[in-house]
C-alpha cells in the first residue's frame, strides 16, 4: 500500500509538473500573440526626451532641422549605396575588402526621427535608441575591455553600454565566415584584424568629420510585452560602437535597425510575433501630448487604437532597394486627375521606385514626379501671399491666414495593384510657422528612389507583414 501511494504520488507530481509546463508555454504563446508595443518618442518631443536639447526651438527651427537631417540622410544613403557596390565588386575580385571603406550610417541622430527604449545585455542595461526603417544594424554606444580613468571620457554625457559587465556579450571573431562574408554588406573590416580571435570590426564615418569605430557581437536584447511580461532575443547581432561626441547624436544612445536584413532587429522580433511589425505616427508638430507606437505582432491583437481601422493592402517589396521597404507604384493623382508621370519614375530597374522611410521627414520626389505634383497643387494656393522663408529645399511657402484645407485638391498615391493611399491635406500642406505653410515636397535628382517620409505617413497605421510581403495601412488617430 505504501509503495502504491508513493507511485501514485510520483505520478501526480509528474502530471502536475507537465501541466505547469504546458500552461507556462500556453501563456507565453498567448502573450506572444498579443505582441510587443514600444512607445516611439519624436526627437522634437522634449517632454518625453528632456536630454535632446529641443526645448528652445521654434516650430520653424524644427522644420529647418528636419530638412537638414533629410539632406544629410540622402547624401549618406547615396554614399552607402556606392560603397556597397564597390564592396560587391571587390569581394568578387579578392578575399579582402578595403579597410578604408566607411559605413555612412543610414540612421545617425541627424537622420533619425523617432526614439524607442530598449534594454541590452545581461543584466539588462536600458537605452534610448533611434527607430529607423532605413538601417539594418542595431548598434549602441558602448565600451569593451576599457580600463583606466580615460574610459567614458568620449561620451561622458550619454549612456554607455558597458559590454564587460554583460555575461551574454559574445564578440564575432575576425576569422569567422560571418565576419568575412555575411557582414561585409554591413561594412565589416576583416582585413583589419590584429589576430584571428580578435572581434570583427566595422567603421562609421560621419559627414561632420569624426570617425566611430566599433565591433560586432551577439547579445541579448530585452523588451516588454503588452501583457507586462518581458521577452528576450538571444544572440542578436549588435554593433558596439565607440561613438564620437558628435552633437548630431544628442539624446540618442544608438540605433534599432528596422530595415530588411537577416540581421536586423525587425526581422528577429517579427519572427517571434508572426512575421509582422507596425507603427502609427501622430503629428509630431502637434502641441498635444500624444504618443506614437512601434508594435510587433498583428494589429488585430486587443489594441483599442487599431481594432476598428479600415485597412488597405498592397505588395511590400523587400530586398530590392538595400534595406528599405518599397512599394510598386502606378502613379499619383491630384483632384481625381491622374498626373502625367514617366513610368520609369517608379521602376527600380531603371533607377527609380518608391520607398517608405520612417527616418526621413518630408516626401521626396524625383523630378519627373515632383514637377507635375507641384504644378497641380499650386493653383489652389494662388490667392495666398507667397513667402520667401528659405526653409531648406521647400520650394513653395505661403501666408496661411484664411486657409482652409478644403481649398486644396486631394492627393492620392496609386499602387500598381489598385490600392490607394489618401493622406490628409495637412500631411502635404504642412505647418512651418505661425501663419505660414509650405507644400511638403522636396525635389530629388534623377535617377533615384522617391520617398514617402514620416510626415506623409502620419495619422495612419502601417503594418509591415514581412513574412507575406504585404503592406497594410489605414487612417487612424493613433491614440
Strands 354-356 and 450-452: parallel
The pLDDT-based confidence of 359 (bands split at 50, 70, 90) is: confident
What DSSP element (H or E) covers 120? Answer: strand 114-120
The three-state secondary structure class of 386 is: strand
Q: Which has more confidence, 289 or 70?
A: 70
pLDDT value for 27: 38
Average pLDDT over residues 107-124: 72
Average pLDDT over residues 396-421: 98
Percent of the chain whose predicted confidence (pLDDT) is above 90 = 45
pLDDT value for 413: 99
The pLDDT-based confidence of 229 (bands split at 50, 70, 90) is: confident
Question: Which of the residues are catalytic?
Answer: 132, 357
State the cell numbers at 434. Answer: 505661425
Q: Which has more confidence, 129 or 56?
A: 129
pLDDT above 50 (res 356): yes
Average pLDDT over residues 406-423: 98
**Cα–Cα distance measured from residue 138 to residue 389, given in angstroms and rounded to the nearest whole number:** 37
Classify residue 66 by its DSSP letter: H
Nearest CA-CA partner of 133 in 314, 316, 309, 304 = 316
CA distances from 358 to 129, 199, 248, 263, 459 (A): 14, 31, 18, 19, 13
**Cα–Cα distance measured from residue 259 to residue 469, given in angstroms and rounded to the nearest whole number:** 14
**Cα–Cα distance measured from residue 163 to residue 370, given in angstroms and rounded to the nearest whole number:** 47
pLDDT above 60 (res 1): no
User: Which range (26-35, 97-106, 355-364) has the least confidence?
Assistant: 97-106
Write out pLDDT tens, residues 304-340.
455 578 899 999 999 998 889 999 999 999 999 999 9
**Cα–Cα distance measured from residue 383 to residue 3, given in angstroms and rounded to the nearest whole number:** 97
Q: According to the 3-state scheme, what is the secondary structure of 5-30?
A: HHHHHHHHHHHHHHHHHHHHHHHHHH
Write out pLDDT tens, residues 367-386.
999 999 999 999 999 999 99
The three-state secondary structure class of 163 is: helix
Domains in the chain, ordered, with CATH? 36-272 (2.40.70.10), 308-475 (2.40.70.10)
**Cα–Cα distance measured from residue 245 to residue 158, given in angstroms and rounded to the nearest whole number:** 9
What DSSP element (H or E) covers 226? Answer: none
pLDDT value for 386: 96
Mean per-residue pLDDT over the chain, rounded? 78
**pTM of the predicted model as reported, rounded to 2 decimal places:** 0.80
User: Which range (70-84, 280-294, 350-364) has the least confidence?
Assistant: 70-84
Strand partners, 231: 223
Residue holding cell 566607411?
Answer: 102
CA distances from 76 to 317, 437, 451 (A): 22, 28, 15
Q: Which has more confidence, 283 or 86?
A: 283
pLDDT value for 78: 52
Strand partners, 279: 294, 462
Q: Residues 6 or more apart from 80 whose CB is under 8 A from it?
A: 103, 104, 106, 322
Write out pLDDT tens, residues 5-53.
444 444 443 333 333 333 333 334 444 456 788 887 766 554 444 554 5
Q: Which has more confidence, 434 or 92?
A: 434
pLDDT value for 375: 98
Q: Which has more confidence, 303 or 131?
A: 131
pLDDT value for 255: 86
Buried b (16+ CB within 10 A) or exposed e, 51-71: ebebeeeeeeebbbbbbebbb
pLDDT above 80 (res 81): no
Residue holding cell 578575399?
Answer: 95
pLDDT value for 41: 74
Strand partners, 462: 279, 473
Alpha-helical (H) ranges within 94-210 are 177-180
**Cα–Cα distance measured from residue 186 to residue 324, given in angstroms and rounded to the nearest whole number:** 14
CB atoms within 10 A of CB 376: 17
pLDDT value for 198: 94
The three-state secondary structure class of 430 is: strand
Measured in degrees and rounded to the nearest 5, phi and psi for residue 268 equal -65, -45
pLDDT above 70 (res 445): yes
pLDDT value for 110: 40
Residue holding cell 507596425?
Answer: 278
Write out pLDDT tens, residues 206-220.
434 445 679 999 999
Amino acid at each position: 500500500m505504501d509503495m502504491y501511494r508513493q507511485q501514485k504520488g510520483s505520478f501526480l507530481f509528474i502530471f502536475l509538473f507537465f501541466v505547469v509546463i504546458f500552461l507556462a508555454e500556453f501563456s507565453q504563446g498567448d502573450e506572444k500573440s498579443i505582441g510587443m508595443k514600444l512607445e516611439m518618442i519624436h526627437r522634437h518631443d522634449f517632454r518625453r526626451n528632456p536630454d535632446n536639447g529641443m526645448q528652445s526651438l521654434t516650430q520653424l527651427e524644427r522644420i529647418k532641422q528636419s530638412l537638414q537631417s533629410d539632406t544629410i540622410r540622402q547624401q549618406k544613403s547615396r554614399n552607402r549605396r556606392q560603397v556597397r557596390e564597390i564592396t560587391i565588386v571587390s569581394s568578387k575580385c579578392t578575399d579582402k575588402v578595403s579597410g578604408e571603406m566607411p559605413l555612412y550610417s543610414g540612421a545617425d541622430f541627424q537622420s533619425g526621427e523617432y526614439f524607442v527604449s530598449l534594454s541590452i545585455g545581461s543584466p539588462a542595461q536600458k537605452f534610448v535608441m533611434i527607430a529607423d526603417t532605413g538601417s539594418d544594424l542595431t548598434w549602441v554606444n558602448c565600451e569593451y575591455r576599457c580600463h583606466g580613468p580615460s574610459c567614458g571620457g568620449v561620451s561622458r554625457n550619454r549612456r554607455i553600454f558597458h559590454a564587460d559587465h554583460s555575461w551574454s556579450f559574445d564578440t564575432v571573431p575576425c576569422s569567422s565566415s560571418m565576419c568575412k562574408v555575411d557582414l561585409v554588406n554591413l561594412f565589416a573590416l576583416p582585413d583589419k584584424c590584429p589576430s584571428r580571435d580578435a572581434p570583427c570590426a566595422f567603421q562609421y564615418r560621419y559627414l561632420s568629420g569624426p570617425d566611430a569605430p566599433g565591433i560586432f557581437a551577439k547579445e541579448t536584447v530585452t523588451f516588454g510585452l503588452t501583457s507586462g511580461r518581458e521577452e528576450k532575443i538571444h544572440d542578436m547581432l549588435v554593433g558596439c560602437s565607440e561613438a564620437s561626441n558628435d552633437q548630431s547624436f544628442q539624446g540618442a544612445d544608438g540605433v534599432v535597425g528596422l530595415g530588411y536584413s537577416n540581421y536586423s532587429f525587425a526581422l528577429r522580433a517579427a519572427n517571434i510575433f508572426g512575421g509582422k511589425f507596425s507603427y502609427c505616427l501622430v503629428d509630431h508638430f502637434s502641441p498635444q501630448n500624444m504618443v506614437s507606437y512601434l508594435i510587433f505582432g498583428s494589429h488585430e491583437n486587443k489594441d483599442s487604437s487599431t481594432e476598428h481601422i479600415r485597412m488597405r493592402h498592397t505588395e511590400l517589396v523587400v530586398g530590392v532597394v538595400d534595406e528599405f521597404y518599397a512599394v510598386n507604384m502606378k502613379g499619383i493623382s491630384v483632384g481625381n486627375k491622374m498626373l502625367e508621370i514617366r513610368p520609369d519614375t517608379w521602376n527600380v530597374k531603371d533607377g527609380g521606385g518608391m520607398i517608405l522611410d520612417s527616418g526621413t521627414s518630408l516626401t521626396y520626389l524625383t523630378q519627373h514626379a515632383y514637377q507635375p505634383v507641384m504644378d497641380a497643387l499650386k493653383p489652389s494656393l494662388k490667392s495666398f501671399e507667397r513667402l520667401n522663408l528659405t526653409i531648406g529645399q521647400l520650394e513653395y511657402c505661403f501666408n496661411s491666414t484664411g486657409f482652409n484645407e478644403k481649398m486644396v485638391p486631394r492627393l492620392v498615391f496609386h499602387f500598381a495593384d489598385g490600392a490607394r493611399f489618401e493622406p490628409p491635406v495637412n500631411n502635404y500642406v504642412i505647418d512651418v510657422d505661425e501663419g505660414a505653410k509650405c507644400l511638403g515636397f522636396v525635389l530629388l535628382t534623377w535617377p533615384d528612389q522617391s520617398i514617402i517620409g514620416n510626415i506623409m505617413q502620419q495619422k495612419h497605421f502601417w503594418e509591415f507583414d514581412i513574412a507575406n510581403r504585404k503592406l497594410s495601412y489605414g487612417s487612424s488617430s493613433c491614440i
